[in-house]
Structure 1
């Protein structure tokens, strides 16, 4: 199964809250067969423990450690949502890109490292936040991931 499928890139989303954004990407992960529905609550739990805002306009919602137990995570994968107007992730942090991730068998660390590499370059961030075609974002990830 592909880590990122083109159909899992959404452009121009708007959210009223961090919770709404987390639920949206969580549902995308469920609909794509990466995780079971209980993963969404585990993603929300993560946000109460520690924000998944990473800097450079990026938030990476994912489940708490216990989400790796049992069969909650079925396959490793990511979903990418562009939020041009931004969504408040708390403490004055605005996310313009929200990436839901699920990593099976420790793969989440590799996925996070690849995302960090991409978002370390502000040029990449600006290009993705302003993208009008999902292929722009897809190619950023498939060139690196």
Structure 2
């Protein structure tokens, strides 16, 4: 199972709360067979304990360690919010990237995404991408 597939990419999602955005990407991880439903609860708890906003208009929600048993396969869901999602403290995410990493994949996936998102040029490409294919090319994760 590929970590990132076209059906894991949500383009032009209308603005919503960060809770709804995290739930949306978590639900897509469930629907596409990457995680079991309780993983979403872990994602929301992670956000309560520490923001998953990483800067450059990007948030990478993932779960608390005690929920990793609910990960079936490593996966990424990318939700593009042209008008942004308020993550508090003036932080607005135009990209909400839900991740689930099985075993050592977790850190590998997270570091790859962090690398891509450190470059504002890449973030702009992702935030303005008109197709799932464009997003997959920028992230470069198969």
- The separation in 1 between residues aligned to 2:64 and 2:57, in whole angstroms, is 22
User: Where does structure 1 lack aligned partners over 5 or more consecutive residues?
Assistant: none
Q: 1:90 aligns with which of 82, 88, 95?
A: 88
Q: 1:115 aligns with which of 113, 116, 124?
A: 113
Matched, 1:59 2:59: yes
Q: Which runs of 4+ in 1 moved over 4 A?
A: none
User: Where does structure 2 lack aligned partners over 5 or more consecutive residues?
Assistant: none
CA positional deviation for 1:15: 3.1
CA positional deviation for 1:92: 1.1
- The separation in 1 between residues aligned to 2:137 and 2:6, in whole angstroms, is 10
CA positional deviation for 1:16: 2.2
Q: What is the TM-score normalised by the length of structure 1?
A: 0.94
- The separation in 2 between residues aligned to 1:125 and 1:77, in whole angstroms, is 20
Tell me the C-alpha RMSD between the 2 structures.
Answer: 1.1
CA positional deviation for 1:120: 1.2
Q: How many residues align?
A: 142
- The separation in 2 between residues aligned to 1:45 and 1:27, in whole angstroms, is 15
CA positional deviation for 1:55: 0.3
Q: What is the TM-score normalised by the length of structure 2?
A: 0.96
